Amino acid sequence: MQGNVGGVLFVGGQEVETATDRFLLLPGSADAGKANRISTPDFLRSIHAQNKLAFITYPEKHKNWDADFDGVEVFSLHTNSKKMSPFFVLFDAIWSYYSYPELVLAKYFYRPDQNLKQFDEITQTKKSTLFAGTDAHSNIGFHLLGDDAGNKLINLKIDSYETIFRTMRNHVLLEKDKLLTQENLLQALKVGRVFIGLDILSDTKEFSFTAENGAESKTMGDEIALTENLSLKAFAPQTARFIIFKNGEKVFEGKDSAQINFPVKEKGTYRAEVYLDALGAPFDKMPWIISNPIYVR
């Protein structure tokens, strides 16, 4: 399926392995199966010549960090699920799954510390895009007494496609005068006009992160010059805790507010994380929102 179907834009992509690394390729290619025969730099040169994008998946296994990739999957639901304790998940699923299936998964989400650290190091020297992936397999759970036809006497699956697609989303920003087309969508992904929203905790679609100096306003993925009156502004749909990072180091934290204004005094790469502390543990440890950077030059 490809193109606009019933008001929904479908862009077909695929996971591709080079000789050493794995990527999400957008849009996909019929020749992608041959990528495992070539090096990562050669693969990236080839797909960029075709105006395609390549985002690192499974960054914990990635080798070629100096290559010309377009972004990094900093959070993967599938990778995160491997850290879940089957014993505790089983009891949570029995107790809560049928009423709150998404929260059974979200309870075990962890901030991807290492992946975010790696991404912050990358964006000190070049632009890149962070995003989250569900890595949808629909295979977390258990069953009893199944047969070859797929019939199961008892079947408990906690990562159905309907559930995980409601849990976490990548929100892509398009300019108001641009239509939702494959070309415009991929361009927004390429430049980093994206933020991650853990939408099962609360709707994130009104979030904004901008840099303003009175004369101009820039958003995620943009560059802006350091001026005397430059400030970063972040807005969330409800009261939350905001953290601003500069080159991976925390430089500001603001609590109990729906918006913050942070004066910028130094050049650097800035991004924001937002937390819903009011929900308590464990949801106060996993970011509700993770922005892409703004680059202050």
Hey, where are the domains in the chain? 70-296
Query: Which pTM was predicted?
Result: 0.85
Q: What is the Cα–Cα distance from 184 to 191, expressed in whole angstroms?
A: 11
The CATH classification of domain 70-296, taken from the options 2.60.40.10, 3.40.50.1360, 2.40.110.10, 3.90.340.10: 2.60.40.10
Q: What is the Cα–Cα distance from 79 to 22, expressed in whole angstroms?
A: 14
Q: Quick check: 81 and 133 in contact, CB under 8 A?
A: no
Q: What is the Cα–Cα distance from 169 to 26, expressed in whole angstroms?
A: 17
In the numeric block, which tokens belong to residue 134?
């569900």
Provide the total of helices (H) and of strands (E) in the chain, helices listed first. Answer: 7, 19
Over residues 178-208, the pLDDT tens digits come to 999 999 999 999 999 999 999 988 999 999 9
What are the residues whose beta carbons fall under 8 Å from the beta carbon of 207, sequence distance 6 or more?
171, 195, 197, 234, 235, 236, 237, 274, 289, 291
Confidence at residue 143, expressed as pLDDT on a 0 to 100 scale: 46
Amino acid at 272: A
H/E element, 294: strand 294-296
Helix (H, G, I), strand (E, B) or coil at 226: coil
Cis peptide before 101 (omega within 30 of 0): no
Confidence at residue 163, expressed as pLDDT on a 0 to 100 scale: 67
Confidence at residue 149, expressed as pLDDT on a 0 to 100 scale: 56
pLDDT in tens, the chain (297 residues): 677 778 888 898 899 999 999 999 999 988 878 888 899 999 999 999 999 999 999 999 999 999 999 999 998 876 666 655 554 555 455 445 545 556 666 666 889 999 999 999 999 999 999 999 876 555 555 444 455 555 555 555 556 666 667 778 999 999 988 999 999 999 999 999 999 999 988 999 999 999 999 889 999 999 999 999 999 999 999 999 999 999 999 999 999 999 999 999 999 999 999 999 998 888 888 999 999 999 999
* 62 backbone dihedrals φ, ψ, rounded to 5°: -70, 145
In the numeric block, which tokens belong to residue 186?
């991929």
Tokens 């807005």, residue located? 235
Over residues 252-277, the pLDDT tens digits come to 999 999 999 999 999 999 999 999 99
Q: Quick check: 17 and 33 in contact, CB under 8 A?
A: no
Strand ranges, E, within 159-267? 169-172, 194-197, 208-212, 217-219, 223-224, 231-246, 249-263
Over residues 38-66, the pLDDT tens digits come to 999 999 999 999 999 999 999 999 999 99
DSSP 127-172: --EEEEE-------EEEEEE-TTS-EEEEEES--HHHHHHH-EEEE
What are the residues whose beta carbons fall under 8 Å from the beta carbon of 104, sequence distance 6 or more?
89, 92, 93, 96, 97, 158
